[in-house]
Amino acid sequence: MTKFSTIKGFADLFEPDSTVFSMLEQTALRVFGSYGYKELRVPILEYTDLFCRSIGTETDVVQKEMFTFPDRKGRMLTMRPEATAGIMRAYIEGGCPNREGVSKLFSYGPMFRYERPQKGRMRQFHQLDCECLGAHEPQADAEVIFMLMRFLQEAGLEGLRLELNTLGCRECRPAYRESLTRYLEGLDTDKLCENCRRRMATNPLRVLDCKEPGCKALTENAPTIGESVCEPCREHFGSVKSLLDAENVPYELNSRLVRGLDYYMRTTFEVISSSIGAQGSVAGGGRYDGLVSQLGGPDMPGIGFACGMERLALMLQEKEQPVQRPDFYIACQAPEAPATAVRLAQRLRESGLAGELSFAAKSLKSQMRLASKNAARFCLLLGETELQEHSVTIKNMDTSEQVSVAFDALPAWAQSVS
C-alpha cells in the first residue's frame, strides 16, 4: 500500500498550531467587530476571469501562480489567490452598493497560489481580509490602518514595522508612469536585471520595487511618485499621514512600496516583520477606488488589507502558549467500570467541567500517568469497591488529597471545584 501524503505546499495543522489560528480568528472577530465590520463568507472557487480582471493580467499572481482548471462543462475556474476579488463580486452581486452607504466586510480563510514553498509561504495559506467600501475620505484609510495595527497588538505581536506610500490615482499615475519610463530609458538599461527590462514595458513602477542590488543602485535617483502626484492625491495622503501622527501610529514612508496587484491606488501600506525569515511581509493593503466599477459595479471607492495568518503564527510560535487544564480524568479499574464512567463524565460535563475518561480498564498506573500527562486537576478512580458503593474516589492531582464522593453528589462536587 502506498501511503498518502499532503500535496506539496499544503499542510495539516495539529495542536498547538491549530489553536494559534483559532485564537487569531477570535481576536479578529472581536477587534474588527468593534469597528463595525460584519463577517462575510465567500466561496474559494470563482470564475478565472474575475481574478484576471481585478488583479491584472500582467501580474505574477495571474501569470504563473493560480490554480486554474476547467470544470466538467469546460468553464475555467480558479482557486482564489486572494480574497478581495471574491468579496467585491459578492458585494456587487448581493446588492450592497444600493442599500448601504459604507460597507465594512471582513472575511478569512484559505487562499491558493502555485509557488515554490518556503518559510512563511505555502500553496494553501490563510488570510484575514477587511474591506471598507463606499468611503473615499482619508479617515477611512486611517481607520483601516488603526484597526489593523490594533488587531496585531491584541493578537500579541510585537516588533512590526508599518510602511506607507501613495501610488497616485487615475489622473496622475499615467503621467508619472511616463516620466518614470523616460527616466528608465535614459539609464544604462543593460545593467538592469532581465525582469526589470521586461517590467519597463509592462509595469515600470515595479522596477522600483526590485530587490536586485544592481537595479536598486541604478534607480536610486529615479523620480518618486510622491513628488509627482496631483494635488487631490497629495492632500489625501497628507490627511492620512496627519491622522496617523495624531494617534501616534509610527510608520515609515517607502516611495518604492508598489505592491503586486494592479488595482491599488493612492494609499498603500505593508506591515513587515524582520523575525520570521525572508518572507517578512505579514499584512498588506491599500486603496482600490476603481475596482468595483471594473468588476461591473457602480463607481464605489474602497480600501482594505489582507493579513497572512501563517506568518503571524510563525511569530506567535516563538512565544509560550498558555495550556488549558482539563478538570478531570476518570480511571477505570474494573471491567464494567468504563460503562459507568462514560455516563459519569456526561454528568460532570453537564455541570460545566471538562475532562475525559479511560474507555478501557487498563493498568491503573498507566491511566494515572495519562491523567498526569494531560495535566488534569482531578483523577476519579472507579474500581470494584466504588461501583459497589456507588461512589468515586477523587484524587486532587496537585495536592494528592483523596476524597470519596457518591455518584449523586457529583454535581455538587463539580460546583465546588469549578
Partner RNA sequence: GCGGAUGUAGCUCAGUUGGCAGAGCACCUGGUUGUGGUCCAGGUGGUUGUGGGUUCGAUCCCCAUCAUUCGCCCCA
Which of 13, 243, 368, 409 touches RNA (CB under 7 A)?
A: 368
Binding of residue 306 to RNA (CB under 7 A) = yes
Q: For RNA, give the closer residue by CB, 133 or 381.
A: 381
Q: How far is the CB of 284 from RNA (least distance, A)?
A: 3
Cis before 16 (ω within 30) = yes
* SS3 labels along 33-80: HHCCCEECCCCCEEEHHHHHHHHCCCCHHHHHCCEEEECCCCCEEEEC
Binding of residue 385 to RNA (CB under 7 A) = yes
Cell of 78: 480558479
Which of 22, 369, 408, 418 touches RNA (CB under 7 A)?
A: 369
Q: For RNA, give the closer residue by CB, 231 or 318.
A: 318
The answer to whether the beta carbons of residues 113 and 160 sit under 8 Å apart is: no
Q: How far is the CB of 8 from RNA (least distance, A)?
A: 4
* Helices 84-93 and 48-55, axial angle in degrees (round to 10): 110
Binding of residue 384 to RNA (CB under 7 A) = yes
What separation in angstroms does the CA of 110 have from each of 16, 45, 159, 186, 293? Answer: 19, 11, 26, 44, 26
Size of the site for RNA (CB under 7 A): 67
Binding of residue 80 to RNA (CB under 7 A) = no
CA distance 151 to 108: 14
Which of 46, 143, 209, 289 touches RNA (CB under 7 A)?
A: 209
Binding of residue 374 to RNA (CB under 7 A) = no
CA distance 100 to 80: 26
Which of 4, 5, 74, 201 touches RNA (CB under 7 A)?
A: 5
Which of 156, 223, 280, 411 touches RNA (CB under 7 A)?
A: 280
Binding of residue 340 to RNA (CB under 7 A) = no
Which residues ranging from 319 to 338 are in contact with RNA (CB under 7 A)? Answer: 333
Q: For RNA, give the closer residue by CB, 63 or 293.
A: 63
Q: For RNA, give the closer residue by CB, 58 or 137.
A: 58
Which of 230, 383, 407, 417 touches RNA (CB under 7 A)?
A: 383
Q: For RNA, give the closer residue by CB, 210 or 240.
A: 210
CA distance 46 to 412: 55
Which of 31, 42, 61, 316 touches RNA (CB under 7 A)?
A: 61
Which residues ranging from 89 to 128 are in contact with RNA (CB under 7 A)? Answer: 113, 115-122, 125, 127
Amino acid at 47: Y
Residues 6+ apart with CB under 8 A from 212: 193, 195, 196
Q: How far is CA 203 from the centre of its chain?
A: 28
Which of 109, 226, 260, 338 touches RNA (CB under 7 A)?
A: 260
CA distance 415 to 374: 22
Binding of residue 410 to RNA (CB under 7 A) = no
Which of 238, 277, 335, 352 touches RNA (CB under 7 A)?
A: 277
Q: How far is the CB of 232 from RNA (least distance, A)?
A: 25
Binding of residue 363 to RNA (CB under 7 A) = yes
CA distance 271 to 164: 9
Helix and strand numbers, DSSP H then E, in the chain = 17, 16
Q: Phi and psi dihedrals of 269, rounded to 5?
A: -150, 160
CA distance 215 to 348: 67
Amino acid at 63: Q
Which of 39, 171, 336, 398 touches RNA (CB under 7 A)?
A: 398
Q: For RNA, give the closer residue by CB, 26 or 402.
A: 402
The interface mask with RNA, positions 172-201, x = CB under 7 A, is -----------------------x------
Give one word for 129, left, alpha or beta, with left for phi > 0 and alpha for psi -120 to 50: beta
Residues 6+ apart with CB under 8 A from 360: 332, 338
Give the binding site for RNA (CB under 7 A).
5-6, 8-9, 59-61, 65, 82, 113, 115-122, 125, 127, 195, 206, 209-212, 259-261, 270, 277-284, 306-308, 310-311, 333, 362-366, 368-373, 379, 381, 383-386, 393, 395, 397-398, 400, 402
